Amino acid sequence: DAGVIQSPRHEVTEMGQEVTLRCKPISGHDYLFWYRQTMMRGLELLIYFNNNVPIDDSGMPEDRFSAKMPNASFSTLKIQPSEPRDSAVYFCASSSEGGNQPQHFGDGTRLSIL
Amino acid sequence: AQSVTQLDSQVPVFEEAPVELRCNYSSSVSVYLFWYVQYPNQGLQLLLKYLSGSTLVKGINGFEAEFNKSQTSFHLRKPSVHISDTAEYFCAVSEVGGSYIPTFGRGTSLIVHP
Backbone angles phi, psi at A85, to 5 degrees: -70, -5
* Residue A95 forms contact with B (CB below 8 Å): yes
Please name the member of B43, B46, B107 whose beta carbon is closest to the beta carbon of A91: B43
pLDDT at residue A44 tops 90: yes
pLDDT, residue B97, reads 81
Residue of B38, B100, B106 for testing the chain A interface, max A β-carbons within 10 Å: B100
* Residue A91 forms contact with B (CB below 8 Å): yes
Which helix H or strand E contains B22, and what residues bound it?
none
State whether A97 and B107 contact (CB < 8 Å). no
Backbone angles phi, psi at B22, to 5 degrees: -95, 140
- Strands B108-113 and B73-78: what pairing? unpaired
Q: Which residues of A17-34 are buried (b: 16+ CB within 10 A; e: fewer)?
A: eebebbbbbbeebbbbbb
State whether B44 and A42 contact (CB < 8 Å). no
* Residue B106 forms contact with A (CB below 8 Å): yes
Backbone conformation region of residue A51, classed left if phi is above 0, alpha if psi is from -120 to 50, else beta: left
Q: Which residues of A touch B65 (CB under 8 A)?
A: none
pLDDT, residue B52, reads 87
Chain A stretch 70-89, residues whose beta carbon is closer than 8 A to a beta carbon of chain B:
none
Chain A nearest CA to B33, separation (Å): 8
Confidence of residue A101 (pLDDT cuts 50, 70, 90): confident
pLDDT, residue B76, reads 98
Please name the member of B100, B104, B107 whose beta carbon is closest to the beta carbon of A99: B100
Q: Which residues of B60-74 are buried (b: 16+ CB within 10 A; e: fewer)?
A: eeebbbbbeeeeebb
State whether A48 and B101 contact (CB < 8 Å). yes
Q: Please, are residues B3 and B102 in contact by the beta-carbon 8 Å criterion?
A: no
Q: How many residues does chain A have?
A: 114
Amino acid at position A63, single letter = D
Report the mean per-residue pLDDT for chain A: 94
Q: What percent of chain A has pLDDT over 70?
A: 99
Q: Please, are residues B72 and B26 in contact by the beta-carbon 8 Å criterion?
A: yes
* C-alpha–C-alpha distance, residues A108 and B83, integer Å: 24
Give me the tens of pLDDT residue by residue for chain B, a chain 114 residues long. 789 999 999 999 999 999 999 999 999 888 999 999 999 999 999 999 999 889 999 999 999 999 999 999 999 999 999 999 999 999 999 988 877 789 999 999 999 999
pLDDT, residue A1, reads 63
Backbone angles phi, psi at B96, to 5 degrees: -65, 125
Residue of A40, A100, A111 for testing the chain B interface, max B β-carbons within 10 Å: A100
Q: Which residues of A touch B36 (CB under 8 A)?
A: 102, 105
